[in-house]
Amino acid sequence: MSARDAQPKAIQLKDYRPPEYRIERTELHFDLRGDKTRVTSKLTLHRNPDAETHAQSLTLNGQDMTLVSVAIDGRKLDSDEYRLDDESLTLLSVPDTFELTTVGDIDPEHNTSLEGLYKSRTMYCTQCEAEGFRKITWYLDRPDVMSEFFTTIEADKAQFPVLLSNGNLIEEGDVGNDRHSDRHFATWHDPHKKPAYLFALVAGNLEHIEDHFTTQSGRQVTLRIFVEEKDLDKCDHAMTSLKHAMRWDEETYGREYDLDIFMIVAVDDFNMGAMENKGLNIFNTACVLAKPETTTDAGFQRVEGVVAHEYFHNWSGNRVTCRDWFQLSLKEGFTVYRDATFSADMGSPTVKRVEDVSLLRTLQFAEDAGPMAHPVRPDSYIEISNFYTLTVYEKGNEVVRMLANLLGPEEFRKGTDLYFERHDGQAVTTEDFVAAMEAVSGRDLTQFKRWYSQAGTPVLTVTDHWDEDAGEYHLTIAQSCPPTPESQSKQPFHIPVAMGLLGSAGALPLHRKGQAPDPETGDNTHTVLELTEPEQTFVFERLPEKPVPSLLRNFSAPVKLRYDYSRDDLVRLMSGDDDGFCRWDASQQLAIQVIQDVMQAYEQGDDIATASVDERLVDAYRSLLQDTSLDKAMVALMLTLPSEAYLAEQSDTIQVEAIHHSRAAVKRVVAQALKDDLRAIYEAYDHRKPYRPTAEDIAERSLKNVALSYLMTLSEPELLEACEQQYRYANNMTDTMAALSELVNSEAKGADSVREKALSEFYDYWKAEPLVVDQWLRVQATSHHPKALETVLELQKHPAFEANNPNKIRALVGAFSNANPVNFHRADGEGYRFLADQILRLNKVNPQIAARLLTPFTRWRRYPESLQALMKQALERIKAEPALSKDVYEVVSKTLV
Ligand code: TRP
Ligand code: ZN
């Protein structure tokens, strides 16, 4: 973005108008020549009969390009026949049907924004979503303009032997008649009409692995994953994941792949995780490469999930796309729902659910309560890149999940079938998605749609009353939603609350007063209450004893639940509830209460080293450790104390140090009390077992490493040695990193030298593997050590760090400011000053990444006044920068309001 005098303008949903022209056919020619790459585009345009306006002129999007020529129907235009500015090209007089030829020069070599056509290490690649295509050629760069693409790429043969674009290869060869030409070309044709944001091009010296998939109707599809040669040994897991995803989408949604070839390309420099370009997905290496020696369990699972996500977009996003960018959640919320249910099916459903809910409740809830809060379908934006948010993705997923649960599996499948059939080849809205669900179910979802239009996290306040004589239990649920920037007062939501009642010996049968039992589900211990009013009371009768309510099972709605559970109730839920999610949630709530006890003592100035910790937590944990019948993954999750970020979410004013030290104190006391049980778990693990990324083995490793993490708080020399052994001899990166992270944070005697040695040996061994180096940076950036910021500053000068590579920035700067609260929120404000410096530097280099780094600053009002003042200062320093990108401007200005 260049400097502007005027403030950037917001785009409004209510201003949507259909395009004045359609682009039937798009023919592109790329002459790749480094900093002077020439793009020739031939577009066939027709006036849109559905347009509401009829102007003589036509404006195309285009930026950061040099115009060489423009012609209509083969006739070159004079300079008074068009107007060119920083963001557009206006043709002053256009016929109803015409062919437009533009020639422009672009500079991918120096394109650090990683948007449009750019160079990543040795290869050229593109990123067009959301509005990057306008940096490649002049176009109607909006998702409701869909076109058939023909793409020819011409490049140096030796440097760029592989030339790829969307669809099918239709021609390739040397350039010209010269048999000794050093340049070659390839022409690709994509028969499926698509918006420009799904365009992709890749040119590089790439190797690939190949496999095949036979679709349910018997079509053969070639599958290829392209990487730099050094990464060929890390593609197998992605290929397996892809085949699983293809089969799953046929079985679960009846969706088949629709081209003869499906390609994935891995690139090192990428702003996000991956991109669903038609037939040619482009991936951040971090989301596609995996092998046991270099990749953690979480990494393996990320690859499986992201490969599936991008593949699923072929239907939910590409075949049926978005009318405008306000509808982003139409494809993202739905596709996250699809990838989440896929991952649940591939591994452990409860673990997957707990992970997703943790993310939502810590980060999405914080977003929804802050200055950037917006509805799942926003009403306005300044820069659309800022709206690829947890709200659009994760809350959007929850909204689809609620629909799926309200309709039930059969009707939901009918609904998605109808949606795909009705809208194949169209650009549609979230209204259209819900309309398909209404059509198949006969339900009125008018109120439900408020989930798309109202921001903010609803709060359910639950009170109850037990009538011993009548054997009746009255449950009253009130809903409210705090104001957010787009609306002060909210109308009630339609909220499904899945629930059951727990007696002393287990689940109790549910008899809703005045309601016949549900004939369909044989299960009378589980039900879904549908809230639609500000307050509703539900009465259950014929109960033998006062129950403990099990509420919001499997997290049936994205809300905050307030019910005053006693600690004994929570212990009962932890061991006795049928719902795995609720058992885990009870363990979290109990731990929060116990940590909050210690926080109070801390605030009073007590010495919390020997804090008294409620025995009920210790006893509950002991039962978990000793019960060998339990799922290890569940035990590991339930033993993991709530994160500092989630604890921060629980209070109005965030006391960073109190949270950190109290959590650590509770962990230490628990470790001391359960030392023998923890050691037994740790020692039972066979460290020579060959690595497999299966749910079962992942569970075993995670429980063992949770045990290690507790034990390491005891700072005993013997344990330090065991940890060092694990670090040194582990045969997989999960165990190596778990141990390294404990070594980095250990306060045991002698830990300093062990840490230094481990870190330097690690780097020497792994320096040629960028994704491993990222983990090495991250573990240091998140160290609790008081000198962590100084380390981060040093690391920025280390050869391991690449200043403009998003993965490196996220591993060092992002990790420090998001996942190292005690050091980021240093009382002297140096953490804030550091982050502001990074944002100001990146503002020019890569505005998308710069704007994302602002997230921790958007929470500034949640901290004590002294920190607020320092954060505000940092924000004001950024705001004063004269050439702010739209991206950074939007977040800073909304945050300072
Ligand atoms: N559509 C991509 C996904 O969710 C997201 C994405 C990839 C993206 N790269 C981007 C969004 C760059 C904005 C900018 O799978
Ligand atoms: Zn997506």
Alpha helices in 627-655 (DSSP H): 632-639, 644-649
- Which residue from 819, 769, 768, 815 is spatially nearest to 795, judged by alpha carbons? 815
- Alpha-carbon span 669 to 236, nearest angstrom: 44
Q: Whose CA is nearest to atom 11 of ligand 1?
A: 129
Alpha helix ranges (H) inside 474-614: 567-576, 580-603
Protein residue closest via CA to atom 15 of ligand 1: 275
Q: What is residue 611's predicted lDDT score, i.e. its pLDDT?
A: 84
Structure confidence at residue 5 (pLDDT): 52
For 250, the token pair is 């046929």
Look at ligand 1, atom 3, and give the residue with the nearest C-alpha: 275
Residue 97 scores a pLDDT above 60: yes
Does position 746 have pLDDT exceeding 50, yes or no?
yes
Tokens of 373: 């809060």
Residue 377, pLDDT > 80, answer yes
Q: Which protein residue has the closest C-alpha to ligand 1 atom 1?
A: 275
The number of the ligand 1 atom at minimal distance from the alpha carbon of 273 is 7
Q: How far is the CA of 308 from the centre of ligand 2 (A)?
A: 10
- Choose which CATH entry (1.20.120.530, 2.30.30.140, 1.10.390.10, 1.10.3720.10) describes domain 323-453: 1.10.390.10
- Residue 513's SS3 state is coil
Indicate the class that CATH gives domain 21-283.
Answer: mainly beta
- Distance from the Cα of residue 589 to its chain's centroid: 25
The per-residue pLDDT for range 760-800, each reduced to its tens digit, is 999 999 999 999 999 999 999 999 999 999 999 999 999 99
pLDDT at res. 516:
80
Question: Tell me: the pLDDT tens digits for 114-149?
Answer: 999 999 999 999 999 999 999 999 999 999 999 999
Compute, in angstroms, the gap from residue 640 CA to the centroid of ligand 2. Answer: 30
Calculate mean pLDDT across residues 659-688.
97
Give the whole-angstrom CA distance, residue 320 versus residue 810.
32
310, 700, 742, 769: the catalytic one is 310
Contacts of 833 (CB under 8 A, 6+ apart): 874
**Mean of the pLDDT values across residues 65-88?**
98
As a whole-number percent, the residues of the chain with pLDDT over 90 amount to 96
With bands split at pLDDT 50, 70 and 90, how would you rate the model's confidence at 362?
very high
Atom in ligand 1 nearest the alpha carbon of residue 313: 15
List residues, by chain if needed, whose CB lies under 5 Å from ion ligand 2: 332, 335
* pLDDT the model gives residue 181: 82
**107: DSSP letter:** -
List pLDDT tens digits, range 49-69.
999 999 999 999 999 999 999
pLDDT on residue 520: 64
CA distance 370 to 364: 10
Q: Does domain 474-492+494-563 have CATH number 2.60.40.1840?
A: yes
- Identify which of 114, 117, 127, 194 to mutate to test ligand 1's pocket (most ligand atoms within 8 A of the CB): 127
Local structure of 448: helix, strand or coil: coil
Mean pLDDT of 634-659: 97
515: confidence class by pLDDT, cuts 50, 70, 90? confident
Task: Reply yes or no on whether the pLDDT at 645 is more than 60.
Answer: yes
CA of 163 to the centre of ligand 2 (A): 25
pLDDT over 70 at 577, yes or no: yes
Mutate to test the pocket of ligand 1, among 388, 397, 852 (most ligand atoms within 8 A of CB): 388
Atom from ligand 1 closest to the CA of residue 332: 4
Pairing between strand 261-267 and 220-227? parallel
- H helices within 236-287, ranges in order? 236-253
Q: How many angstroms separate the Cα of 651 from the Cα of each of 479, 552, 596, 659, 664? A: 20, 22, 10, 10, 18
769 is catalytic: no
Q: What letter represents residue 679's amino acid? A: R
Ligand positioned closest to the Cα atom of 125: 1
Which ligand ends up closest to the CA of 275? Answer: 1
Q: In the chain, which segments carry CATH 1.10.390.10?
A: 323-453
**Is 60 exceeded by the pLDDT of residue 414?**
yes
User: Probe ligand 1: pick from 134, 272, 325, max atoms within 8 Å of CB?
Assistant: 272
Instruction: State the average pLDDT for the chain.
Output: 97
Q: What is the mean pLDDT of residues 242-253?
A: 99
- The burial class, CB within 10 Å (0-12 / 13-18 / 19+), for 334 is buried
Tell me whether strands 280-284 and 380-381 are parallel, antiparallel or unpaired: unpaired
How high is the pLDDT of residue 514?
87
Residue 1 clears pLDDT 60, i.e. is over it: no
Percentage of the residues of the chain whose pLDDT score is greater than 70: 98
Considering only residues 617 and 519, tell me which one the structure prediction assigns the higher pLDDT: 617
The predicted model scores a pTM of 0.98
* CA–centroid distance, residue 134 to ligand 1 (Å): 16
pLDDT band for position 4 (cuts 50, 70, 90): very low
* 302 band by pLDDT with thresholds 50, 70 and 90: very high
Check whether 522 has a pLDDT greater than 90: no
Q: What's the Cα-to-Cα distance from 343 to each of 231, 350, 787, rounded to whole Å?
A: 25, 11, 39
CATH 2.60.40.1730 positions along the chain are: 21-283
* CA 389–ligand 1 middle distance (angstroms): 10
pLDDT of residue 178: 66
Q: Return the structure tokens found at 596.
A: 């909050």
Distance CA 322, CA 194 (A): 11
Predicted local confidence at residue 529, as pLDDT: 98
Q: Which residues line ligand 1 (CB under 6 A)?
A: 127, 129-130, 271-272, 274-276, 309-310, 332, 385, 388
Instruction: Find where tokens 């090192």 sit.
Output: 268
Q: Would you state the pLDDT for residue 3?
A: 44
